[in-house]
Structure 1
Amino acid sequence: MTSTLSPPHADGPAARFAASHANELRERDEHRDRAARAVARMARDRPDKILLLSILGLEPAAETGAPGLESALAGYTRQVAELIGVPAEAVTCEVTDTATAYLGLTARTADLPQRDLMLVWDERLGWSVAIEPRGDDEPPVICRLGRQIAPPPATVAQFVADALRGSRHGQLSPVPARLDRAILAAQMTGSSA
């Protein structure tokens, strides 16, 4: 007697399990890639990178021919820092679940001479000048550069100069939809050329 197995139903428990398992594997791979990129950023050189990744049991994140957001943001942030005179040690950027950049400003405003300022960038909000927080405070935003998420570095430098002079244009506006990261990287690379 021959028995035939019927295919699992597309909405049955086996199909739900398979979909859930595939989703879990995809998320695990994404987390491992993010961790590998974070570790690689901290490495001093290639041998150090390989050692750190091997200690954690990670493989190097896949690299593509087109500049990724991580390298585009690093170059873009470096150019902004150079234009406004921020030393390299006062600049950080990272790409995790949110891409961000921080530049510690050396200048202060006339109306807040006792408070340090920072220039921060976020992939959803773009650039803003804010007061350095004290403790766990949320940094108060002085002004935000509106319209473009990744304007040319010269535009950002002019925005900072205006903010330091007291111009408060570009106040908070509704949060725009998240841009595709490949498009954002292309904008940063194009705007810095």
Structure 2
Amino acid sequence: MTATPRSQFVEARTRAEQERTQQQRMAVHTVASNARDRTDFAALLAMLGLEDPAGVPVPLSSRLAVYVDQVASAVGVSASATGHEVTDTATAYLALDLRSAARPGHDLMLVWDEHLGWYIAVETNPTETPAVVAYLDGDVVPSPAAVARFVTDTAEGHHISRFRPVLPPIERTVLADKMAALC
């Protein structure tokens, strides 16, 4: 039995609608991975003529970018001296304009790790393991103001905790929500 022109049309239209829906999903996913916050996400979708599907979370990478910018601002570090990535481990880096008393020829860096939280270490060669000066105790996602106090206290010699914190693992969606609540 051969397909009639009407049935061919219906099949082609169904396929086209399925492809359109799939492209929209991919576009929403792309926007979600690039949006800095929920407002940015909604604005980008509106520019593309797409609807804001309720419940689509903004990914950790976007939340981390905003959080790192806020911490950099609180610490007084230029955005160009920061970096972050979300791979097998989410991390952030801020170059500090401070020197280590133990290694005066080396700058200090402020580092965040989703498992360790914030810590200050001596900037070393990329092949060397950085020497940790101090860890910030408490929540893995503290307020930017708390991180700034930690940097100031450490620079003044008041915060020298070299004990690695034992933090319970946190789901990345929870980390993203905590960051969003602070920024």
Query: TM above 0.5, one fold?
Result: yes
Query: For structure 1, which runs of at least 5 residues remain unmatched after alignment?
Result: 1-35, 42-63
CA distance in 2 between partners of 1:107 and 1:124 (Å): 25
Give 1:174 deviation, angstroms.
Answer: 4.5
CA distance in 2 between partners of 1:174 and 1:120 (Å): 14
Q: Is the 8 A contact 2:119 2:135 kept in 1?
A: yes
> Helix, strand or coil for the counterpart of 1:136?
coil
Does residue 164 (structure 1) correspond to residue 155 (structure 2)? The answer is: yes
Counterpart residue number, 1:130: 121
Counterpart residue number, 2:44: none
CA distance in 1 between partners of 2:101 and 2:122 (Å): 13
Give 1:111 deviation, angstroms.
Answer: 4.8
Q: Is the 8 A contact 1:109 1:165 kept in 2?
A: no
CA RMSD of aligned residues (A): 2.5
Give 1:156 deviation, angstroms.
Answer: 0.3
Does residue 153 (structure 1) correspond to residue 144 (structure 2)? The answer is: yes
Give 1:171 deviation, angstroms.
Answer: 2.8
Give 1:66 deviation, angstroms.
Answer: 2.6
Give 1:110 deviation, angstroms.
Answer: 4.5
2:81 counterpart (71, 79, 90): 90
TM-score normalised by the chain length of structure 1: 0.63
Give 1:181 deviation, angstroms.
Answer: 0.6
Q: Is the 8 A contact 2:72 2:79 kept in 1?
A: yes
Distance 1:169 1:129, change over 3 A: same
TM-score normalised by the chain length of structure 2: 0.66
Does residue 175 (structure 1) correspond to residue 161 (structure 2)? The answer is: no
Query: For structure 2, which runs of at least 5 residues remain unmatched after alignment?
Result: 1-28, 35-54
Q: Is the 8 A contact 1:105 1:119 kept in 2?
A: yes
Give aligned-pair identity as a percent. 43
Q: Is the 8 A contact 1:108 1:115 kept in 2?
A: yes
Counterpart residue number, 2:3: none
Give 1:176 deviation, angstroms.
Answer: 2.3
What is the identity, as a one-letter code, of the residue corresponding to 2:173?
Answer: A
Counterpart residue number, 2:112: 121
CA distance in 1 between partners of 2:126 and 2:89 (Å): 22
Distance 1:125 1:66, change over 3 A: same
Aligned residue pairs total 136
CA distance in 1 between partners of 2:100 and 2:131 (Å): 14
Counterpart residue number, 1:31: none
Give 1:122 deviation, angstroms.
Answer: 0.2
Give 1:170 deviation, angstroms.
Answer: 3.5
